[in-house]
A and B are shown apart, each in its own frame.
Chain A
Amino acid sequence: MTLPVVKGASYILVQAPSTLFQYGSTQTQTRQKDPNAEYLKQIPGHLRSFEACVGYAPNQAYIGNLLPDELGNIAEPWYDNPVADASRFGAQGEIMPEDEFLGLVKMYDSFDLVKLTQEFTELVKAKLKIHPIFKDKDLKALSEGVEFNEIDELVNKHVADGLYFEHKLIGCVKQAHDTDPNLNAHVMLENSMTKASGILALLNLGRLGYDITDIEYVIEASEEACGDVNQRGGGNFAKAMAEGAGCVNASGCDVRSFCAAPAHALINAASLVKAGVYQKVAVIAGGAVAKLGMNGKDHIAKGVPLLEDCLGAFAILITANDGESPIIRTDLVGRHTVGTGSSPQAVITSLVTDPLDRGNLKITDIDRYSVEMQNPEITKPAGAGNVPEANYKMIAALGVKRGDLERAEIMNFVEKHGMPGYAPTQGHIPSGVPFIGPALKLMKAGQIQRAMIIGKGSLFLGRMTNLFDGTSFVMERNAGIIEEAAAGQDDTALKTMVADAMRQLAEILLKED
């Protein structure tokens, strides 16, 4: 039996301001009520440029060009203090502009539902040609494009939803059925974007040097559902994304639990590797179109740019022990059960201290907790406060109750064992997983020993239960393959001892004969 390790991680953002304006749920619901609403008129003036999005420090942290702690050295508001010489490509991912991404949506369209104009196709082809991932053979899927009038007609007949770049109609996603509500144009647009962003995250794993062609299993953990009228959530975004990324040896499945899904998926992936079912499993998730500009009304009211302009996605590679990558401690898993209850004390006990107790660890033995890592610059103007900090305070408070730390040390704990939130409010994207990449880097460098990844999900939003959900696990620095070998030697020594004893017994019996 091998220990499962986090071998690699990629994090991607897609800046999608026109998609925000057209299809973010806050905007669509506002438009439904009043197409001339003042809020909608104000949006274009509050969107930021791609350069501003790339230079935004939390985005640089998300793609691995800054460590989360380094955000503490950057003056706030971060949107007024861009990172100098920021790059769209990161040590652990990339930020893609909307035009290139719309090209990807077309490239990975399996049913010829996506149409782009000839002019836009040419523009995108030229841009993707110099992208480090895409080759000429990939770009063939863009085809030559169609006449603008064809797209305009499909949109006007309400059989397609428009695709926009810089607020101009440049394409569309057609409905996949004329009466099936689960295959209508809007659902197809959302799912196509989730799929394309997940593929981009997988491909970035490849760009970072990991061989993705021998991945055996892919688990997808976003919050979308794909299926037709007879199976709304039939699923397997995972296999569709694996196909798009060229993971020819992979099968896969989807795991859902609202925002907690990625943490569940990682525990599943680690368990599959530990059990020897598969050697190489990727956990991936695409982005959520509906959440673009979710808190836009509050941001505009408070003079904050529309910071929720990015789709987020990630891909994390779990493999058998390589002797150097951080281990996922499947024996130190926390879970919020049906009977746990909802008091903060019960929740933190189930997710944090129960697994720590099993490992005889104190709250302070975890160097860093990765909780709900939402960027506070997005959540505070919307009245949701600083979410990671609130989580850290609750963990610290339980630590005081258990005697792991003194009451006066609560804020020190928050600073030492926490970190600033930096992930976009894309639901499942900020939930525990953003720190896996930085933890991988810090553990390999010997700078931290352990991290706890905590995912929480709002199951009650689906109206099937009043419960919410949560799960957690400990990531630990790898002690080295040499120790694994040493354990093997101990086993050999034991076998030798038993063999010697048996031989001596046989000799005694022979003498007695």
Chain B
Amino acid sequence: MLKGKKVAIIGDRDGIPGPAIEECIKTTGAEVLMTTTECFV
């Protein structure tokens, strides 16, 4: 589904942080352009 797509990742400290999402996205063949984790509180 994401193969060949460019992806920007915004993770949540109290949910799924960015690097954890990145590890998953990498397995799909997508190109990760940037990864960040934000604090929403």
Contact = CB atoms under 8 A, between A and B. Distances in A.
Interface of A: 259, 341-344, 347, 372, 374, 379, 382-385, 387, 390-391, 425, 427, 430, 456, 458, 460-461, 466, 468
B15 A390 contact: yes
B39 interface: yes
Interface of B: 11, 13-20, 23, 36-37, 39-41
Contacts, number: 53
Contacts of A382: 40
Contacts of B18: 342, 466
Contacts of A344: 15-17, 20
Contacts of A390: 14-15
B40 A468 contact: no
A387 B41 contact: yes
Contacts of B19: 341-342, 466
A240 to B, nearest CB: 27
A333 B22 CA distance: 29
B39 A458 contact: yes
Contacts of A383: 40
A108 to B, nearest CB: 29
Nearest to A347: B17
Contact of A458 (B13, B15, B23): B13
Given A342-B17, A342-B19, A384 B40 contact: yes
Nearest to A456: B13
B2 to A, nearest CB: 19
Contacts of B17: 342-344, 347, 468
A461 B40 CA distance: 11
Contact of A387 (B14, B16, B20): B14
B14 A456 contact: yes
Name which of A259, A342, A387, A456 has the most chain B CB atoms within 10 A of its CB. Answer: A342
B41 A342 contact: no
Nearest to A374: B41
B20 to A, nearest CB: 4
A341 B18 CA distance: 11
B16 A468 contact: no
Nearest to B15: A390
A429 B37 CA distance: 21
A283 to B, nearest CB: 21
25 contacts: A341-B19, A341-B20, A342-B11, A342-B17, A342-B20, A343-B16, A343-B20, A344-B15, A347-B17, A379-B40, A383-B40, A384-B41, A387-B14, A387-B41, A390-B14, A390-B15, A456-B14, A458-B37, A458-B39, A460-B37, A460-B39, A461-B39, A466-B19, A468-B13, A468-B17
A343 B23 contact: yes
A71 to B, nearest CB: 18
A290 B20 CA distance: 30
B12 to A, nearest CB: 8
Contacts of A466: 18-19, 37
B6 to A, nearest CB: 20
B17 to A, nearest CB: 4
A422 to B, nearest CB: 14
Nearest to A426: B41
B40 A430 contact: no
A22 B6 CA distance: 41
A367 to B, nearest CB: 22
A384 B41 CA distance: 7
Contacts of B40: 379, 382-384
B14 to A, nearest CB: 5
A372 B18 CA distance: 19
Given A341-B19, A383-B40, 18 more contacts: A259-B41, A342-B18, A372-B41, A374-B41, A379-B41, A384-B40, A384-B41, A387-B41, A427-B41, A456-B14, A458-B39, A460-B37, A460-B39, A461-B39, A466-B18, A468-B13, A468-B17, A468-B39
A372 B13 CA distance: 11
